[in-house]
Structure 1
Amino acid sequence: MNEIIYEGPFKDHLKNHVELKQAIGYKYITDSHHLRRFDRFTLEKYPHATELTKEIVLDWCRKKSYESQANQCSRCSIIRQFGKYLDSIGVKAYIIPKGYFPTEEQYIPYIYTSEELTRFFAETEKCKYCYECPHRHLIMPVFFRMIYMCGLRVSEARLLKVADVDIENGILSINNSKKDNSRLVPMSMSLTERCGLYAKIVHPFPKGEEYFFPALDGNPMTLGNVYKNFRRFLWSARISHGGRGMGPRIHDFRHTFAVHCLKKWVEQEKDLTTYLPILKTYMGHDSFEETAYYLRLTADVFPKITLKLEIQYPDIIPLLGGVTDETF
């Protein structure tokens, strides 16, 4: 990975701030690129700045015409962290208050029905050969099934290496995922068989460092490419899309996996105090609250089991709030 070179008036502080974040365990890759854009912004508009003033911060955080509210809030948060770093080393800095800009209304996950899943996966099977992405027709039926059947985040599936897919034992190794967490994810027998048949064609002479779902030149598929195919399958499967930010989203396959698991366990009268920690580990959640959220979601989507959930787990469900920051 190429090192980012900062050139503006805060170049040394930006470099040190990023190095400190990475030294304590954060990847800080996306954030460092946001700070690179901030660096260019200050180089152009405030080249002689010696302190992070309120004028600079608010100018940078001003909402752009093409960006979402969530993206503005994200940029604001990154600069807030940088301001706190400057303050900690004695550099005068304006620290924008947390929640200075209003956040968007929380997105409510879309839970696919079993019929919708059947139609969607059937459309992936119809994917045709494309010379620009020679393996696309082989990748798509396995890729989207893996996200749903294993409850993966999109990039967890997208960045899998050949060595991460143990076809013999049916286990995925998810490495350096969100917050640098890693975990082992067992696959069903049917998915393991699909992966085996797929690998024989796409990776006849497997190399561990190759991407399991390769695009051109051995690179991983881009998020844009994945999303483009997703929307096409969604349309063909007659599943309505509400427009930008409205869903359904690819990430909703992960939500659907969790809800379907909980629904099945409740119907089987499993002890959820035992099974929730298993689901937490399987999905790579950082806290129990992230997993417990799906209890409320399951009750909302399947109201017939609401009473059973509220009677058995009265101390969990009332505490649940909105969607946790769980994306991608």
Structure 2
Amino acid sequence: MAENEFSGPFAKEMSDFVELKMALGYKYTTERGILKRFGSFLSSEYDDLDSLSKEAVTKWCSKTLHETDNNHCSRASLVRQFSKYLNSIGIKAWVLPNKYYPKGNKYIPHIYTPDELTRFFSATDKCTYCSEVPYRHLIMPVFFRLLLSSGLRCSEARMLTVDDVDLDLGILKISDSKNHNDRLVPLSKTMLIRLQRYSEQVHSSGSHEFFFPGYKEKPMTLGNVYKNFRRFLWKAGISHTGDGPRVHDFRHTYCVFKLREWAEQGKDLMVLIPLMRTYLGHQTFNETAYYLKWTADVFPDIRLKLERYCEGIIPEMEEFQ
């Protein structure tokens, strides 16, 4: 960790707190950034504190104008944890009560319709050349199709290296993902063909580390992906509000369409859902079973079939590839 990374009256304690969390197996990348901002706030407003006061905590934890309820609660939760840590090492700190800030309504995933997907991918296929990111027009049609056809998280696709993509066997290697999960993800035949063609155009020189290179050979940023995503939604005539659709909804859509396909084929979901859990990199069965509800809601005609089962896996959504 960089020396003097944190500022404010508890800079050392913040550094030690992050080190402790990382030693326990947490990545703590986003959390480190939040603590930096909290430290800067304390430095400018309460630089002479020898204890963390209620006033300082509640003032910084107040919801900002453009902050979502979930992000606000996550930020407050981190400060609560840090306050508990300070108390544990003998520094007095006011602990924000649990549920001090109410969470907003749970996000309802947007399950893309076949027509929306056709229009969205048609827009990605018309992506134009950009001199600052010269491979953008080649990346975008493939990147978003990969999210849909494989159910990958956006960060998992962004961080793929060339070595992670086996274009002979048609396998993706996902390393140190959410919950420190490593797994292998098989590709459908049509997606593999697209990736092979893309690789011939982008990686023939062998000079790139990342499979989807961004600005100055770094991986694409989430901001860059989201900016292009919004542009393609607009061109496809798909309305977007603060509540969605989101890039992550391609993962939701993959799961819902796959479960529908299996149910219509009369497959045993009790056998398939544990496989889907492994394929998606879920930690618990409930994370995967969650999609049974959305499948039944989106496709009520197969609700009775779904209610007879409870489990699922694997790729192939050929129609949109």
For the criterion TM > 0.5, the same-fold answer is yes
Q: Which of 24-33 and 209-218 deviates more?
A: 209-218
Mapping 1:19-168, distance limit 5 Å: 19-168=19-168
Residue 304 of structure 1, aligned match among 296, 301, 306: 301
* Distance in structure 1 (CA, Å) of the matches to 2:65 and 2:250: 30
Determine helix, strand or coil for the equivalent of 2:107: coil
Question: Kindly tell me: are residues 267 and 210 of structure 1, through their superposed partners in 2, closer, same or farther at Cα, counting changes over 3 Å?
Answer: same
Question: Kindly tell me: are residues 10 and 2 of structure 1, through their superposed partners in 2, closer, same or farther at Cα, counting changes over 3 Å?
Answer: closer
Who is 2:209 aligned against?
Answer: 210
How far does the alpha carbon of each residue in 1:15-57 deviate from its partner, in whole angstroms, 9 at most, with x for none? 1100000011111011011101111111111111111221221
Which residue identity is paired with 1:231? R
* Distance in structure 2 (CA, Å) of the matches to 1:140 and 1:118: 15
Who is 1:326 aligned against?
Answer: none
How far does the alpha carbon of each residue in 1:127-151 deviate from its partner, in whole angstroms, 9 at most, with x for none? 1112121111100111000000010
* Distance in structure 1 (CA, Å) of the matches to 2:235 and 2:3: 43
Who is 1:235 aligned against?
Answer: 234
* Distance in structure 1 (CA, Å) of the matches to 2:66 and 2:247: 22
Runs of 4+ residues over 4 Å off in structure 1: 1-4
**How far did residue 279 of structure 1 move?**
0.7
Who is 2:201 aligned against?
Answer: 201
Determine helix, strand or coil for the equivalent of 1:172: strand
**How far did residue 190 of structure 1 move?**
1.0
* Contact 1:6/1:14 (8 A) holds in 2: yes
* Contact 2:268/2:309 (8 A) holds in 1: no
Are residues 1:294 and 2:291 paired? yes
Who is 2:8 aligned against?
Answer: 8
Determine helix, strand or coil for the equivalent of 1:14: helix
How far does the alpha carbon of each residue in 1:233-271 deviate from its partner, in whole angstroms, 9 at most, with x for none? 212222222x12x21111100000000111011111111
Question: Kindly tell me: are residues 3 and 203 of structure 1, through their superposed partners in 2, closer, same or farther at Cα, counting changes over 3 Å?
Answer: farther
**How far did residue 2 of structure 1 move?**
5.1
Instruction: Indicate the percent of aligned positions where both proteins have the same amino acid.
Output: 54
* Contact 1:173/1:184 (8 A) holds in 2: yes
Who is 2:265 aligned against?
Answer: 268
Could you list the runs of 5+ residues in structure 1 that have no partner in the other structure?
A: 317-328
**How far did residue 4 of structure 1 move?**
6.1
* Distance in structure 1 (CA, Å) of the matches to 2:195 and 2:4: 37
* Contact 1:112/1:256 (8 A) holds in 2: yes
* Contact 2:4/2:11 (8 A) holds in 1: no
Residue 283 of structure 1, aligned match among 280, 290, 309: 280
Determine helix, strand or coil for the equivalent of 2:261: helix
* Distance in structure 2 (CA, Å) of the matches to 1:230 and 1:7: 36
TM-score w.r.t. length of structure 2? 0.93
* Distance in structure 1 (CA, Å) of the matches to 2:35 and 2:223: 23
Which residue identity is paired with 1:199? S
Question: Kindly tell me: are residues 189 and 255 of structure 1, through their superposed partners in 2, closer, same or farther at Cα, counting changes over 3 Å?
Answer: same
Which residue identity is paired with 1:38? F
* Contact 1:27/1:179 (8 A) holds in 2: no
* Distance in structure 1 (CA, Å) of the matches to 2:233 and 2:177: 27
* Distance in structure 2 (CA, Å) of the matches to 1:130 and 1:51: 51
Question: Kindly tell me: are residues 199 and 2 of structure 1, through their superposed partners in 2, closer, same or farther at Cα, counting changes over 3 Å?
Answer: farther
Who is 2:318 aligned against?
Answer: none
Question: Kindly tell me: are residues 198 and 78 of structure 1, through their superposed partners in 2, closer, same or farther at Cα, counting changes over 3 Å?
Answer: same
